[in-house]
Structure 1
């Protein structure tokens, strides 16, 4: 029996090259979109922060998960009829390794690696899921938006002289899809939040004070 310890990160390219397993590398820039359309493949996010958007036809969608570095973008999300389907949106620059499940299943040691990665990914996702549930429990889109921005500040936020700068470009269209609302509503909410809590410059959002923004959710 082989035991595989799971550290905080692996050099996946080196591992797969060593075992001569064919794989593909996909480089995503900020705002790039990857459509998950092959349930017979593993997608490993080796670097970057991604969100998975669940699409219900052309007019309805919602964020279903936040994918952190060194996690598996789970293919258990797929439906046999591919309705709904899923799109991965890159909040930061990212690198994704794609490989066939059939190739991995032939190698018991590598398959163990992937099983451990899946377990680690699920544990990581459980932490984020609590915040997503809290977000969708909010009574208004504005409150949903606030909770989402606070969540992003934990993973893509950087301290600046004016507050916490979200190191990603958030379009109103993306926020509307993620929060299951319209672009017009998002524009209105951001305009209202800019009066006291946010600075928006060239699509980059800076939160003056995450604490004050948290109190906004608690008090309204």
Structure 2
């Protein structure tokens, strides 16, 4: 618009000259012959100046129209991008009236986006949290960004807990507003509440994964497996390519590749197994969860040491004796005739744990059975007699 200033100044000068001519024409009883030609010249100059102004205005209007089109395109692109967000996204004015929101935000409130446009965002706060939220509003207006957790009321449903990040915005016409990012943390809050219970069970509120007998269980270095039900065999390979039994993980025990430095480490279900996955990141961020898991990890490490101690026995018979005592403690179930191992182990499993051959184990188990120290039930489960 800087081109308009010289034109405006020129028009003002011409207007002054025309006013002067008009005063002379009124004051003089008989206008001079030169007055009319002079007035016509001045009017012609004014006409040219006005034409220039009209041309400049037309150019400026085209420029403004182009800018408005670009703004509309950017706004459309911005709305399309906001729809890609998995979190709820809301825009309010300075009075916290909702102006825009994406579909994820509407889904959090269990309603359609158009039903939320024009509503004050504070009116959607859960009743019991409104007083605390009002105190936060002053901070939101004074700071560039505020993070808080608050409960919102769903339409025709209960409330949800949301982690909210609020930041101030400034529009091209200098109007202040706010952007709100809402992340549903209802499940996280419920899990944190459960962690505070004295009888907290890490298996609760987590998805259970099922594996059948013989399945190889995948190992993720960023996660731990917690056994909810069943028995899992942990093994590695020796330098000679022979399997070595490293542990038997049963109910309420943990395992994972993060708990070992072995390059080869395999987990196989010895029965129908139910497992839950726990992220190591979650453990590091939750002291309470770490406190619950520590005894389980300690138990697992002690069992590993017990298996390693078996290899230190010189005689194969002693290795088998120590192994049977360990199995009795770890996977034994009291029955009428003694202690029954809850899963069936093959002679090769015994051999790998005792660092010997399957033939040797078959011979030694047969000897123990003849001596009446062990027996097998109808399902071929080994029973250690009292």
With over 3 angstroms needed to count, the CA separation of the structure-2 counterparts of 1:182 and 1:34, relative to structure 1, is same
Give matches, 1:201-220, under 5 Å: 201=377, 202-209=379-386
Give matches, 1:68-83, under 5 Å: 68-77=250-259
> What displacement does 1:141 show?
2.3
For the Cα contact (< 8 Å) 2:332–2:341, is it kept in 1? yes
Alignment partner of 2:216: what SS? Answer: strand
For the Cα contact (< 8 Å) 1:53–1:178, is it kept in 2? no
With over 3 angstroms needed to count, the CA separation of the structure-2 counterparts of 1:47 and 1:55, relative to structure 1, is same
2:341 counterpart of 1:166: yes
Q: In the alignment, which residue of structure 2 is the partner of 1:40? A: 222
CA displacement, residues 48-82 of structure 1 (integer Å, 9 cap, x when unaligned): 34332122367323222342422321332455xxx
> What displacement does 1:206 show?
1.1
Q: In the alignment, which residue of structure 2 is the partner of 1:217? A: none
What is the Cα-based RMSD across aligned positions, in Å? 3.3
CA displacement, residues 125-179 of structure 1 (integer Å, 9 cap, x when unaligned): 3443453244222222232122112212123323333322222111112222333
Number of residue equivalences:
192
Q: In proportion to residue count, which structure has more helix?
A: 2
Q: Which ranges in structure 1 are unaligned for 5 or more consecutive residues?
A: 17-22, 210-220
CA distance in 2 between partners of 1:98 and 1:26 (Å): 8
With over 3 angstroms needed to count, the CA separation of the structure-2 counterparts of 1:100 and 1:134, relative to structure 1, is closer
With over 3 angstroms needed to count, the CA separation of the structure-2 counterparts of 1:206 and 1:13, relative to structure 1, is same
Give matches, 1:106-185, under 5 Å: 108-109=285-286, 112-185=287-360
TM-score normalized by the length of structure 2: 0.42
Q: In the alignment, which residue of structure 2 is the partner of 1:20? A: none
CA displacement, residues 107-138 of structure 1 (integer Å, 9 cap, x when unaligned): 933xx355334422232134434532442222
2:242 counterpart of 1:65: no
CA distance in 2 between partners of 1:76 and 1:174 (Å): 24
Query: Rg: which structure is higher?
Result: 2
Q: Which residue, out of 167, 174, 199, partners 2:375? A: 199
TM-score normalized by the length of structure 1: 0.69
Q: In the alignment, which residue of structure 2 is the partner of 1:10? A: 201
Alignment partner of 1:84: what SS? Answer: coil
> What displacement does 1:5 show?
5.8
For the Cα contact (< 8 Å) 1:50–1:90, is it kept in 2? yes
Q: Which protein has greater RCO, CA pairs closer than 8 Å, 6+ apart? A: 1
Alignment partner of 2:228: what SS? Answer: strand
